A and B are shown apart, each in its own frame.
Chain A
Amino acid sequence: MHIKHLSLTNFRNYGRLELPLPAGAVVLQGNNAQGKTNLLEAVYYLATSRSPQAGSDQQLINWTAAESGEPIIVGRINAQVETQTGGRIIEMRLIRERNEGRHRPYSFRREAVVNRRTVRLMDLLGNVRVVLFLPQDIQLITGSPSGRRRYMDTVLCQMDKRYCRDLSHYNKALEQRNALLRQLAEGTGRRDTLPIFTDKVVELGSRLFVRRASFMYELGREAQRIHYEHLTSGNESIRLHYLPRLQENGLNRGGTVSQLTALSDFLYKNEMDAGVVGEYFQSIMQATLSADLARGITSTGPHRDDWMIEINGRDLSYFGSRGQQRSGILSLKLAEIDWVTTQTNDPPVLLLDEVAAELDGQRRALLLEYVKHAAQALLTATDSDQFPNDFMDRATLLTVANGRVR
C-alpha cells in the first residue's frame, strides 16, 4: 500500500500542508527542527492512533492555532491511501472542546473518518499499515517492559481489530479488579463481586496471551532467519522469547532457555483453544489470590508480560555489545515488515527517522535493500548525501523547511 496524498491542518508546526506523495522511496531532507519527524509522526498517528513519544494529544495541535481565540480548533491528518484492494480516504481529527469549570480549560476529542463516514477510533486502525524505525528503537531492548508490551500491542492492533478491542476491554476489566482489590484491602468493597471481574480478566487476558504468543513466535522465526542469513553471514544466532506473565512468580531473565520457552510454547500450541489457556490462567489467579488481596493489585496477566532477545544463547540486553543490540533490533523490525506483508498480502508503508545515519556497513545496506523493495518508504535525513548515489537515483527528494515541503 502507499499514501498518494497527505494533508495536515494545525498539526505540530504544520499550519496547512497539501502533499502529493509518489510510491517508492521518498527522502525528506532538511535542517533540524523543520518538521521532518513531525511529518512521520502524523502518518504514524493516523495508522496507530498513538504518538511514538508518549504524550497528550494537546501537544499535537499547532501552538499558534491552539492559542487563538477560535472556539473550535480542528487538527486534522488526512490521507488518500492506495491498497491492493482499492483506494480509501482516512482522516483523524482532533477537536478542541471547552471544559467549563474544570482545571484544564480545554480538552481534545478524537474523531476518526473513513471514506467520509465517521467511525469508531478502532475502525481507523489497519487502513494504512506502517512500520516505524527510530534511532531510539534500541531502547526496546534496553528499556522497560512497558515499552516492549507497547510494541506488541501497536503492531497487533494495526493488524487485528479483535485484539485491539480485547486489549481495551482487558484494561478496563483490570482497572475494575484492581479498584476492588484496593477496596477489599482497606476493608470496604464486596468480596462476592470479585469472581466476576476475575473471570473477565481471565477471559480477555487469555485471548491476549495466545495472540501475542503466536505473533511473537512468527516474528521471532523471521527475525532469526534475517539475522543469521542476511545480517551476520551465519555468525550470530538470535532468538526471540515471549515471556508471558502466567506464573505465580515472574520468570527471571537469567532462567534457562527451557524455562523461558515452556510457557510461550504452551500458549502457542493452544492458540486455537483459549479455553485451555483460560483454565490455566484461572488456576494461577486462584494461586495468587491471597497475595493480590494483600497487595491490592493484580499480579499476573498480560499487563505484566515481557519479551527478550537472546543472542548466541545469552540475553542481548545484558551481554550484547551496542553493535549487536543494533543488529538485533534491526532484524526484529525487518521481520516486522515481512510479517505484516505475509499477513496482509500488502506491503506496509515504512517510516524511517534519521536511521540511515545511525547504521553502517552491512546493516545499512540490508535496510536500504528493504526500502528499495517497499511499496513506499518515507525517510528523513539532515542531508541526502547520507544515502548512496544509486539509491538517490531512484528516490524522490523533498525538502522540509519551517513546516513547508517542496
Chain B
Amino acid sequence: MATAVLPQPVQNLINELARLPGIGPKSAARLTFFLLRDGSNQALELADALRDLKERTRFCSVCFNITENDPCQICDDDERDQELLCVVEEPLDMLALERSRAYNGRYHILHGAISPVEGIGPEDLKVDELIHRVQNGSFRELILATNPTLEGESTALYLKRILAGNDIRITGLARGLSVGGDLEYTDEITLGRALDGRSDL
C-alpha cells in the first residue's frame, strides 16, 4: 500500500527553510504552504531576491564589506581619508558608524570576534588581511571599534598586540554616557568609564 508523501519540491523547501537559524520544522512547513497557496508572484520574487543575494553581492577584496562592485564604494572613494582605518566586527557595525557621519576614513571588517567557545580564532577572521593592509598601507591611525563585550575587547587586545611595532597610532572608541540620558539613571560602571575618559571643554 502506498502511503501519502509530500511531493519532493515541497519537502525540499521545508528542509531548506528549517536549516535557517530561528526556524523550526513547523514554521518551515507553514511558510512553505503559504508560498505554495499564494496566488501572486511572491514565491518567484523571493526566489529572485535570494538568487541576487548570492550572485550580485560579494565581499570587497580590500575591506571585506558586502558590496555589488569590487572594490566597494567606500574603498573607491578618493575623498575619504586614506590614512585612517577603522576595524569593526560586522558590516552592520560599519553602517552604524557611517550613519553617525562623524567618520571619514576607511574600514576593515573582521567578520566576527575571537571566541574559543564558539571555535572562532584569528584564522577564521579577516586578521591576516588586516596585517597585510597595515604593513603595506600608509595608515597613520588604526581605530579598533570592536564591541565592548569580552570577545570584542579581547579581539582588540589581540590586534593591538600583533600590530604593535608597526609605526601606527592605535586607538579605541571612548566608552561613555548616552546622549539624552540622565546622569541619575546611568549605572555606575558606565559613569566610571565616562569619568575616566573625560575630556577638556
Contact = CB atoms under 8 A, between A and B. Distances in A.
A196 B121 CA distance: 12
A189 B189 CA distance: 33
A193 B158 contact: yes
B188 A176 contact: no
12 contacts: A100-B27, A102-B24, A117-B185, A161-B188, A161-B189, A183-B119, A190-B122, A190-B123, A192-B162, A193-B114, A196-B154, A200-B153
A197 B154 contact: yes
A172 interface: yes
Given A189-B116, A189-B121, A190-B122, A176 B154 contact: yes
A225 interface: no
A101 interface: yes
Nearest to A190: B121
A100 B23 CA distance: 6
Contact of B116 (A120, A169, A176, A192): A176
Contacts of A179: 116-117
- Top-7 shortest CB links A-B: A101-B24, A100-B24, A180-B116, A179-B116, A190-B121, A179-B117, A172-B150
Nearest to B122: A190
Interface string A112-128: 00000100101100000
Given A101-B23, A190-B122, A197 B188 contact: no
A123 B187 contact: yes
Interface residues of B, number: 28
A100 B22 contact: yes
Interface of B: prevailing SS: helix
Q: How large is the interface on A (under 10, 10 to 19, 20 to 34, 35 or more residues)?
A: 20 to 34
B109 to A, nearest CB: 20
A381 interface: no
A162 B188 CA distance: 8
B132 interface: no
A192 B153 CA distance: 16
Contacts of A117: 185
Given A161-B189, A183-B116, A189-B116, 6 more contacts: A173-B150, A176-B151, A177-B116, A190-B121, A192-B158, A196-B114
Interface in A169-206: 169, 172-173, 175-177, 179-180, 183, 189-190, 192-193, 195-197, 199-200
Nearest to B27: A100
B172 interface: no
Given A101-B18, A176-B115, A197-B116, A165 B150 contact: no
B101 interface: no
Contacts of B18: 101
B188 A101 contact: no
Contacts, number: 66
B26 interface: yes
A195 B157 CA distance: 10
B161 interface: yes
A79 B23 CA distance: 38
A40 to B, nearest CB: 29
Contacts of A101: 18, 23-28
B117 A176 contact: yes
Contacts of A189: 116, 121
Interface string B43-61: 0000000000000000000
Contacts of A193: 114, 116, 121-122, 154, 158
Contacts of B26: 100-101
A199 B157 contact: yes
Contacts of B121: 189-190, 193
A324 to B, nearest CB: 41
A183 B114 CA distance: 14
A189 B188 CA distance: 37
Nearest to B123: A190
